[in-house]
Structure 1
Amino acid sequence: MPIRHSSRSVSGFSRRTVLKAAGAGSALSAVAGLPTRLFAQEPVKVAAIYTVPVEQQWVSRIHKAANAAKERGDIEYVFSENTSNNDYERVMREYAEAGNKLIIGEVFGVEDAARGVAKDYPDVAFLMGSSFKPDDAVPNFAVFDNYIQDASYLSGIVAGAMTRSKSIGMVGGYPIPEVNRLMHAFMAGVKEVAPDTKFQVAFIGSWFDPPKAKETAFAQIDAGADVMYAERFGVSDAAKEKGVLAIGNVIDTQADYPETVVASALWHFEPTLDKAIAEVKAGSFKAADYGVYSFMKEGGCSLAPLGSFEAKVPEEAKKLVAEKEKAIKDGSFTVEINDAEPKSS
């Protein structure tokens, strides 16, 4: 029995309906015999494939950027969510066959299969979240990752100023480069203001398991952590229940935890996606590493406003954050990118 996956489009139609409509449109163009270059200014047909719900932190930022491009009229946008790794290749092929010119997603568990699909559709641009580098042998397959170490570093400065126990808990999904580098940057920021801080590091082996993340956070709080690095959903819930603080990752959840989430390192996928759309429209899309568009100097990340904690974070820490942010943007200071698995200390 085939594995089923949930799929939705922003217009509310099912993916199957969208694909049929797209196929019909392609057929009409073929009958009319009109060259595609005449429609260069029409919206680019974009499809996204997500292995988790669009509410999940990382994917939600891609989804947000795609919707913004759709609202501007730059793209048409359909997507599938909760697509299993076993089903990923099939969905990629369906979207390619439907005439989509740019397919985005995350292929951390299906690297070889995804690149194989790209080889079979050389006229389709693929922009995929990946821990690996682009390969000239697959010239239409570009990679990206959330290189938001700049914002993570700044959030660490805030955390270092707020911890009293000098023990910080960190709960991540998997120890892969995209997670590791953010944790290391956060820890470096903490040590700028609290060099004697110790860290409890744990990975739950899932991208979306809030109950497991919550239980792991409980254990770290019971062991003395008074600030939690919430790389996964569920950690801030534990912090709220235990009356400790949390630092967010990728999205800003302070509105949901106004007395718990002090600061968050935000990822902005818009620069990455907008660059890809421009390249597709210009016919110049190629194998490249789009990770640089997540850097702070490119507008790809930022520290969320302190909001309800504005008056609670020490002025010295806020001043240091401002100084470091300026230095990061003007290039006089570079946050180290360390992809090695972080360890407890």
Structure 2
Amino acid sequence: MTKFSPGSASSLVSRRTVLKVAGATAALAGAATLPTRLFAQEPVKVAAIYTVPVEQQWVSRIHKAANAAKDRGDIDYVFSENVSNSDYERVMREYCEAGHQLVIGEVFGVEDAARTVAADYPDTAFLMGSSFKPDDAHPNFAVFDNYIQDASYLTGIIAGALTKSNNIGMVGGFPIPEVNRLMHAFMAGARETAPDIAFQVAFIGSWFDPPKAKETAFAQIDAGADILYAERFGVSDAAQERKLLAIGNVIDTQADYPETVVASALWHFEPTLDKAIAEVKGGSFKADDYGIYSFMKHGGCSLAPLGTFEGKVPDAVMAKVAEKEKAIRDGSFTVEINDEEPKSS
């Protein structure tokens, strides 16, 4: 991999701030495409800007997909990590000035500044993690988010079948749409196998504070939870110490917690990035919502292999998981997308 850091990009900060408003104007169907000057020769010059280390679970999936495209020879890839929100606009501009054709990243805390940069560089394509929608004022600014509610729902079915106390603890970073929809999907899945289940829901106010997440999980265990939903790093450590089970999110951490993490919802960023690369190459990149490419039917998410827990989950439960997965993939069943803040119940 190639690492590039234009200027200072210090201080580990939150990947996002809590949104101030609920949404923005949706893109018009006839939004203009980028000028034909974006028609790219091989490989496409791609730059990524991350506010946390590339090891962080959400960012790691973007980084993984970019490296896969680089290894195929489809792109030249450079990136900056640990970029503070106050530095984000400057780094974006430096990458644009350096001639990168596609800039990817996460602008949840710098929406206005990022769209201003996009307006100033109309010949550059931007694909940015965002809880807002694209708009016709920025025809080169597309958005994405990890809509992995399908896989989260399936992990909930498993968790509901395995809890003995009918009490599950859930620890998240911030109650924003990306997190909320996954928690709601997980809770809906758990109710499929345990209709009377109770949930303890807590948010730690950080995207990377494993000690705080761990302590929050301990408190939920002390309050009766026997399975933990690990939206943040640190939760599985608490489960491991108390010899309980955990459900993973975005990445598969079972290798690190072989007796703890029973199932995980995996995010695959490859379909999202590959779609953007193809459109840049074809000169057809435009403002669009790439969220759909995280759906299971597009290969954007999956249930991780059970690994060490293979054969330990009842066959009837896994048959139900398989049935629901098939229905999700063929469109006969749709997991609800609920972006409202989940509450303990």
Q: CA deviation at 1:11?
A: 3.0
Per-residue CA deviations over 1:239-277 (Å, capped at 9, x if unaligned) read 000111000000000011000000000000000000000
Would you say 1:15 and 2:30 are equivalent positions? Answer: no
Would you say 1:235 and 2:235 are equivalent positions? Answer: yes
Amino acid at match of 1:154: L
Gaps of 5+ in 1: 1-9, 18-35
1:78-227 to 2 correspondence within 5 Å?
A: 78-227=78-227
Amino acid at match of 1:15: S
Aligned residues: 317
Amino acid at match of 2:47: A
TM normalised by structure 1 equals 0.90
- The match for 1:277 is 277
**Structure 2 Cα separation of the partners of residues 255 and 157 of structure 1:** 22
More helix by share: 1
**Structure 1 Cα separation of the partners of residues 180 and 205 of structure 2:** 14
TM normalised by structure 2 equals 0.90
**Structure 2 Cα separation of the partners of residues 107 and 16 of structure 1:** 17
- The match for 2:67 is 67
- The match for 1:246 is 246
Structure with max Cα Rg: 1
**Structure 2 Cα separation of the partners of residues 311 and 259 of structure 1:** 13
Gaps of 5+ in 2: 8-35
Give the CA RMSD over aligned residues: 1.4
Higher relative CO (Cα under 8 Å, sequence separation at least 6) belongs to: 2
Q: CA deviation at 1:38?
A: 11
Q: CA deviation at 1:282?
A: 0.5
- The match for 1:264 is 264
Per-residue CA deviations over 1:157-206 (Å, capped at 9, x if unaligned) read 01011100000000001000000000000000000000111000000111
Q: CA deviation at 1:37?
A: 6.8
Q: Report the 3-state secondary structure (helix = DSSP H, G, I; strand = E; otherwise coil) of the residue aligned with 1:105.
A: strand
Change (3 A) 1:171 1:39: closer
Amino acid at match of 2:2: S
Q: Report the 3-state secondary structure (helix = DSSP H, G, I; strand = E; otherwise coil) of the residue aligned with 1:15.
A: coil
Per-residue CA deviations over 1:41-79 (Å, capped at 9, x if unaligned) read 410000000011111110000000000000000000000
> Contact 2:38–2:124 (CA<8 Å) still a contact in 1?
no
Amino acid at match of 1:149: Q
**Structure 2 Cα separation of the partners of residues 211 and 162 of structure 1:** 26
**Structure 2 Cα separation of the partners of residues 279 and 11 of structure 1:** 23
**Structure 1 Cα separation of the partners of residues 205 and 138 of structure 2:** 30
Q: CA deviation at 1:16?
A: 4.3
Q: CA deviation at 1:40?
A: 3.7
- Structure 1 moving runs of 4+ over 6 Å: 36-39
**Structure 2 Cα separation of the partners of residues 141 and 61 of structure 1:** 21
The sequence identity of aligned pairs, in percent, is 84
Amino acid at match of 2:223: A
Q: Report the 3-state secondary structure (helix = DSSP H, G, I; strand = E; otherwise coil) of the residue aligned with 2:77.
A: strand
